[in-house]
Amino acid sequence: MKQFFKFVFASMLGVFLSIIVFIIFISIITASIISSSSSSVEVKDNSILYLNLNYPITERSPSNPLEDLEIGPIKKEKILGLDDILKSVRYAKDDNAIKGIYLDASNVQAGMATIEEIRDALADFKKSGKFITAYSEVYTQKSFYVASVASKVYLNPVGYLEFKGIASNSVFFKGALEKLEIEPQVIKVGTFKSAVEPFLLDKMSDANKLQMTSILNSLYSGIIAKISESRNIPQDSLYKMANDLRIRSAEDALKYKMVDALKYKDEVLDELKEKTGIDKKKNLNTVSVADYATTVKPAETGKNRIAIIYANGEINGGEGDEETIGSEGISRAIRKARLDDKVKAIVLRVNSPGGSSLASDVIWRETVLAKKEKPVIVSMGDYAASGGYYISCAADSIFAEPNTITGSIGVFAILPNMKTFFNNKLGITFDGVKTGEYADFGQINRPLTNGERFILQNEVNKIYDDFTKRVAEGRKIQQTYVDSIGQGRVWTGKQAIELGLVDRIGHIEDAVKSAAKKAKVENDYMVVAYPEKKDGLFSLLSKSGDKIKTYFVEKELGDNYKYYKQLNKVANLRGIQALMPYSFEIE
């Protein structure tokens, strides 16, 4: 009995201490959140806005209640999404307290369309007469593209500027699957539907090389043209510099006028102090863009509303989250905006490589219903391809960046046959009974029968027919023409305009203004965003297990995480897909 009570009291003590620790932890977090929300950032006169772009830039600023909290392994990390970066730069343009921008763009981690929006916002900022100073020890090509818009571009005297042209590399898994004795059974429509190539081939097909060469040339010409304009260097000279790899040192970058001077950071800071009238012995008046964003007031006010609905990530069924598009979640957001009388127009912001064809159709249906009641304008981000284009095509008007990746009108299904893998590698065999010929249709422990393959091909053909029909109806063009520019082929936004898949080149701000004009409320509106962000602890606890697992896997695998991510996508594919190529990276 004595031993029994000993264990009981020990258990009670453990539970009690756990509760105390939990209460203390929650109290600290709550206090931090309250303190963070109540604290105000003071922007002093003659301040410089510090714009750091060296992190993965998402469409919207993440909701992180712990961004100002540092406890043990939890470190302070305050980052902004594209929405708040653009808002801050625009506001700073007319803010008398801000004299200029200090741009830190050493390793920009964003897609080309996102970079384009930021660069153009900075170009617009310069029209105010204020300066932008860019400094880095190393400029990647993406980083230099952004930095080239600055009034002054400085490089560390022993630093490096990368300028060599752009390339796209794909990863192929055919050899690995053969070694594992796994057969990828692919059913597709589209000569250019290259999303399945990594599992069938060990190199790019001729069709894929053709489309990728076309895309790279379109992207590259746009990059060269803007750098030429900003740095006042002839385009032919820039092409030759890249082709010959003439920029091999900091001295080369200065020699060919890619940068204005070679300076150490202390020299740059001294120059900024001089520009803002600060004594060299004192600190600069700087405010980070993350802090500055909290002081920015809404640019538009009014009783009418323009709803921006953010559709970001791969398209799947279900609710989705900040990184994926769930057909239920996005459909609900569109429906809510449609039924709200205060919302006069909808801007659907699409940044997606596609995904489930079924989920894409569910979202498409909601855009069609919304369009019957109020204007629907699409703003395309880095990607709006395959399923991403499917959910866009019904809009009244489509805006894209010149380097948006879009199109990819095609569908496929993939089902692995793992029978030999199970038999030879693991020693596992299968047997069973069934009530009908197709009762076990979809099993991965055997190959497809001819009848099953026929059924699946017909289903893929039907979905492709539906896809091209949706595009034809939405864009008011012939279905045969859609098929001729479809077939899974990927285009840039600039190319898509010429093909009639996109209406205008423009930013998300342009799409909002167009929506307001079409709704006849251009002088009286405010912008609201959907889906609503989860606040406070709800955002912390939402799928926290998945976030923690992803964090540690990414930390462990490093640069190889992208290969794990691609294989993981294949393992979790469900149903027929409208998805662009898996490996699409611009270097």
The pLDDT tens digits for 11-36 are 555 555 555 544 544 444 444 444 44
Minimal CA–CA distance to 318: which of 368, 380, 383, 363?
363
pLDDT of 543 over the 70 cut: no
Same domain assignment for residues 338 and 368: yes
Point out which residues pair with 94 in neighbouring strands: none
Whole-number pLDDT of residue 10: 53
pTM: 0.85
Whole-number pLDDT of residue 533: 73
Same domain assignment for residues 264 and 318: no
Same domain assignment for residues 103 and 151: yes
| Domain range for 87 | 47-163+247-293
Whole-number pLDDT of residue 421: 94
Looking at per-residue pLDDT, the higher value among 30 and 229 belongs to: 229
User: Residue 184: is the preceding peptide bond cis (ω within 30°)?
Assistant: no
Tokens of 81: 């999404």
* Site of tokens 């756990």: 18
Residue 303's pLDDT band, with cuts at 50, 70 and 90, is confident
Does residue 447 lie in a domain region?
A: yes
Tokens of 466: 């539906």
pLDDT of 152 over the 80 cut: yes
Number of C-beta neighbours around residue 175 at 10 A = 9
Does residue 366 lie in a domain region?
A: yes
Whole-number pLDDT of residue 135: 97
Give catalytic residue positions: 193, 386
Whole-number pLDDT of residue 75: 45
Render 153-217 in DSSP notation, one character per residue.
Answer: EEEEEEEEE--S---B-----HHHHHHHT-EEEEEEE-TT-GGGHHHH-SS--HHHHHHHHHHHH
Here the contacts of 248-255 (C-beta below 8 Å, separation 24 or greater) are 249/160, 250/155, 250/156, 250/157, 250/158, 250/159, 250/160, 250/161, 252/161, 253/155, 253/161, 253/163, 254/155
Per-residue pLDDT averaged across 395-418, rounded?
A: 94
Does residue 9 lie in a domain region?
A: no
Whole-number pLDDT of residue 355: 92
**CA 38 to chain CA mean position, Å:** 31
Least confident range from 223-237, 365-379, 406-420: namely: 406-420
Residue 321's pLDDT band, with cuts at 50, 70 and 90, is confident
CA–CA distance, 395 with 506 (Å, rounded to integer): 15
Same domain assignment for residues 419 and 444: yes
CA–CA distance, 186 with 201 (Å, rounded to integer): 12
Whole-number pLDDT of residue 45: 86
> What's the residue count for the chain?
587
Tokens of 508: 């998300």
Does residue 126 lie in a domain region?
A: yes
* Site of tokens 């406890």: 71
Looking at per-residue pLDDT, the higher value among 534 and 68 belongs to: 534
**CA 15 to chain CA mean position, Å:** 44
* Site of tokens 């959910």: 391
Per-residue pLDDT averaged across 152-162, rounded?
A: 96
Buried b or exposed e, range 261-281, using 16+ CB within 10 angstroms: ebbeeeebbebbbebbebeee
Does residue 521 lie in a domain region?
A: yes
CA–CA distance, 548 with 539 (Å, rounded to integer): 13
pLDDT of 542 over the 70 cut: no
Residue 491, domain CATH: 3.90.226.10
Per-residue pLDDT averaged across 521-525, rounded?
A: 90
Same domain assignment for residues 263 and 309: no
Q: E strands of 260-326, at which residues?
A: 261-262, 286-288, 304-312, 314-316, 320-321, 324-326
Per-residue pLDDT averaged across 371-398, rounded?
A: 96
Q: pLDDT (tens digit, 9 = 90+) per residue, 77-103? A: 567 899 999 999 999 999 999 999 999
Whole-number pLDDT of residue 583: 46
Whole-number pLDDT of residue 570: 53
Same domain assignment for residues 369 and 497: yes
pLDDT of 235 over the 80 cut: yes
CA–CA distance, 38 with 93 (Å, rounded to integer): 26
Residue 63's pLDDT band, with cuts at 50, 70 and 90, is low
Given 293, 325, 352, which residue is the final one in a domain?
293
Does residue 184 lie in a domain region?
A: no
pLDDT of 337 over the 90 cut: yes
Whole-number pLDDT of residue 2: 52
Given 264, 293, 322, which residue is the final one in a domain?
293
Looking at per-residue pLDDT, the higher value among 194 and 58 belongs to: 58
Tokens of 301: 């006010």
Count of domains in the chain? 2
Same domain assignment for residues 80 and 104: yes
Same domain assignment for residues 429 and 310: yes
CB 243 within 8 A of CB 163: no
Phi, psi of 131 (to 5 degrees): -95, 160
Q: pLDDT (tens digit, 9 = 90+) per residue, 552-578? A: 555 555 555 555 555 555 555 555 666
Q: pLDDT (tens digit, 9 = 90+) per residue, 440-451? A: 998 999 999 999
Residue 162's pLDDT band, with cuts at 50, 70 and 90, is very high
Q: What percent of the chain has pLDDT over 70?
A: 81
CB 118 within 8 A of CB 144: no
Minimal CA–CA distance to 150: which of 45, 227, 237?
227
Same domain assignment for residues 144 and 87: yes
Same domain assignment for residues 444 and 330: yes
Does residue 102 lie in a domain region?
A: yes
Residue 336's pLDDT band, with cuts at 50, 70 and 90, is very high
- Mean pLDDT rounded to a whole number for the chain: 85
Looking at per-residue pLDDT, the higher value among 422 and 547 belongs to: 422
Does residue 87 lie in a domain region?
A: yes
Looking at per-residue pLDDT, the higher value among 24 and 437 belongs to: 437
pLDDT of 289 over the 80 cut: yes
Looking at per-residue pLDDT, the higher value among 231 and 584 belongs to: 231
> Rounded to the nearest 10 degrees, what angle do helices 112-126 and 206-231 cross at?
10
Could you give the C-alpha distances from 237 to 141, 153, 217, 223, 334, in angstroms and in order? 16, 19, 17, 14, 48
pLDDT of 41 over the 80 cut: no
Same domain assignment for residues 407 and 258: no
Given 274, 293, 312, which residue is the final one in a domain?
293
Least confident range from 189-198, 331-340, 490-499: namely: 189-198
Same domain assignment for residues 413 and 482: yes
Whole-number pLDDT of residue 568: 56
